[in-house]
Structure 1
Amino acid sequence: MKQLIERLRQHSETLPFRIAALLALALLPIGLISVTQTVLLIRESDDRTKASLLALTSEAAAGEEAHIRTAFGAALAIRAMLSDGMPSQAECEFRMQRFLKESGSFSFAGYVDGDGIIRCASGGHMRDMSQLTIFPLMKADPVPRVTINRNGPVSGTSVLVMSVPVMDGEKFDGYIAISLPHRTFFGDISDASERSLVNLITFNAQGAVLTNDHGLDEVVNELPVNHDLTEFVAGNEYAFIDVNADGKWRVYSVVPVVPKVVYAMGIWEYESYASLTENIKITNSVLFPVAMWLACLGVAFFAVQRMVIRPTRDLRARMLLFMRARRIFPPRDESKLPIEIREIEETWQLLAESVLQDEAELHNSIHKKAILVKEVHHRVKNNLQLIASILSMKIRKSRSIEVRHSLQEVQRRVMSIARVHQKLYETSTEERVRADELLRTIISQIKSSALPNEADVRYSDEFESIVLYPDQAVPLSLAASEMLTNALKYMGKPSDGQAWLSVRLVPEGKDRVLFEVANSIGEKVDLDVAITETGLGDKLIAAFVQQMEGEVETVTEDSVYRIRIHFPIIEFTEAA
Structure 2
Amino acid sequence: MARLKELRRSLTFRIAGLLALALLPVGLISVVTTYQLLNKADRELRDGLLALTSEAAAEQEAAVRSATGVAKAFVGMIPVLRSTGFECEEPLQNILRDSPELSFLGYVANDGTLLCASADQGSDLSDRPLHKEFVENPGPRVKFNAMGAISKTAVVIVSLPVISDGAYDGYVTASLPHRQLNRPTPGTVGRERPLELITFNAEGEVLTSTANGDREERFLPSNRSLSALVSGEEATFVARVASGEERLFALSPIVPGQVFALGSWEYRRGPMFGGLGIGSSLLFPLLMWVVSLLVAFFAVQRMVIKPTRNLRARMLQFMRSRRLVEPNNDPSIPTEIRDMEETWMRLAENILHDEAELYDTIHQRTVLLKEVHHRVKNNLQLIVSLVGMKMRKAKSPAVKLALSNVQQRVMSIARVHQNLYETSTAERVRAGELLDAITGQIVAAASQGEEELDLETRFDDCEVYPDQAVPLSLAVSELITNALKHIGPLEGEKKARLEVSLNCEEGSGHGQVKVCNTLPPEPVPQVEDSTGLGEQLVRAFSSQMEAAVHREETDTHYTVIIDFPIQGFDDNIVPSDHVIPVSSGTPRRDRALSS
Does 1:543 find its partner at 2:537?
Answer: yes
1:57 corresponds to: 53
Any stretches of 5+ residues in structure 2 without a counterpart?
506-510, 570-595
Amino acid at match of 2:213: V
8 A Cα contact 1:483 1:563, kept in partner: no
Specify the alignment match of 1:384 in structure 2.
380
Q: Does 1:220 align with 2:217?
A: no
Which moves more between the two structures, 57-66 or 74-83?
Answer: 74-83
- Secondary structure of the residue aligned to 1:173 is strand
Question: Using a 3 Å threshold, how does the CA distance of structure 1 residues 422 and 116 change in structure 2: closer, same or farther?
Answer: closer
- Aligned equivalent of 1:373: 369
* TM superposition shift of 1:89: 1.4
Alignment of 1:236-275 (within 5 A): 237=234, 254-264=251-261, 275=268
**Alignment partner of 1:15 is 2:7:** yes
Distance 1:514 1:44 in 2: 92
SS at structure 2 position matched to 1:167 = strand
Count of aligned residue pairs for this structure pair: 530
Question: What is the DSSP-based 3-state SS (H/G/I as helix, E as strand, rest coil) of the residue aligned with 2:138?
Answer: coil
Measured in 1, the distance between the counterparts of 2:82 and 2:335 equals 107
Give secondary structure in 2 for the equivalent of 1:512: strand
Quote the Cα distance in structure 2 between the aligned partners of 1:183 and 1:519: 126
**Structure 1 residues 430 and 67: CA distance shift in structure 2, 3 A:** closer
Alignment partner of 1:163 is 2:159: yes
Report the CA distance shift for 1:143/1:404 in structure 2 as closer, same or farther (over 3 A). closer
Alignment of 1:278-317 (within 5 A): 284-286=277-279, 289=282, 293=286, 300=293
Larger Rg: 1
Supply the distance in 1 between the matched residues of 2:131 and 2:65 (Cα, whole angstroms): 21
Closer, same or farther in 2 for the Cα pair 1:257/1:331, shift >3 Å? farther
Partner residue of 1:3?
none
More helix by share: 1
What does the per-residue CA deviation read over 1:523-559, in whole Å, with 9 as the maximum and x for residues that have no partner?
979xxxxx688x7x533651353233364869796xx
Residues in 1 aligned to 2:392 and 2:551: alpha-carbon distance in whole angstroms: 37
TM-score by length of 2: 0.61
Specify the code of the residue in structure 2 equivalent to 1:538: G
Deviations 1:106-134 (A, max 9, x none): 7876654434456677x679734645845
Identify which of 109, 122, 127 aligns with 2:122: 127
Preserved contact between residue 159 and residue 171 of structure 2 (Cα < 8 Å): yes
- Going from structure 1 to structure 2, the CA distance change for 1:478 and 1:169 (only over 3 Å counts) comes to same
Structure 1: distance between partners of 2:283 and 2:8:
21
Alignment partners' CA distance in 2, 1:401 and 1:249: 120
1:57 to partner: Cα distance: 2.9
Residue 514 of structure 2 is matched in structure 1 by: 514
Pair 346,187 (structure 1): closer, same or farther in 2 beyond 3 Å: same
Q: Please list the CA deviations of residues 208-261 of structure 1 after superposition, one character each: whole Å capped at 9, or x if unmatched.
A: 776789xxxx953585545499557734546679999xxx99987553211343
How many angstroms apart in 1 are the aligned matches of 2:406 and 2:189? 131
What pairs with 1:2-401 in structure 2 (closer than 5 Å)? 15=7, 42=38, 44-77=40-73, 79=75, 88-89=83-84, 100=95, 111-117=107-113, 127-128=122-123, 130=125, 133=128, 134-146=130-142, 162-168=158-164, 171-178=167-174, 204-205=201-202, 220-221=213-214, 223=216, 225=218, 227=220, 231=227, 234-235=230-231, 237=234, 254-264=251-261, 275=268, 284-286=277-279, 289=282, 293=286, 300=293, 321=317, 324-329=320-325, 359-388=355-384
Contact 1:475 1:545 in 2 (8 A): no
Structure 2 CA distance for aligned equivalents of residues 572 and 156 of structure 1: 116
- TM-superposed CA distance for 1:275, in Å, is 1.8
**Retained in 2: the 8 A contact 1:241–1:277?**
no
In structure 2, C-alpha distance between the alignment counterparts of 1:364 and 1:37, rounded to whole Å: 74
Partner of 1:528: none
Alpha-carbon distance in 2 for matches of 1:474, 1:257: 116
> What runs of 5+ residues in structure 1 fail to find an aligned partner?
1-8, 526-530
Q: Check 1:164–1:17 CA distance in 2 against 1; reply closer, same or farther (3 A cut).
A: farther
Q: CA deviation at 1:371?
A: 0.8
Give the AA of the match of 1:424. Answer: L
Report the TM-score when normalising by structure 1: 0.63
Deviation of 1:173 (Å): 0.8
CA contact (8 A) 1:491 1:519 kept: yes
Report the RMSD for the aligned CA atoms in angstroms: 6.4
Q: Identify the match of residue 417 of structure 2 among 414, 421, 426.
A: 421
Give the conservation status (yes or no) of the 8 Å contact 1:552–1:566. yes
* Structure 1 SS opposite 2:268: helix
Whether the 8 Å CA contact 1:242–1:252 is kept in 2: the answer is: no
Go from structure 1 to structure 2 and tell me whether the alpha carbon gap of 1:81 and 1:325 turns closer, same or farther (over 3 Å shift): same
Q: Cα–Cα, structure 1 residues 379 and 99, in superposed 2: closer, same or farther, change >3 Å?
A: same
Identity fraction in percent: 35
1:165 Cα deviation (Å)? 0.6
Letter in 2 for 1:375: E
**Contact (CA 8 Å) 1:11, 1:17: kept in 2 or not?**
no
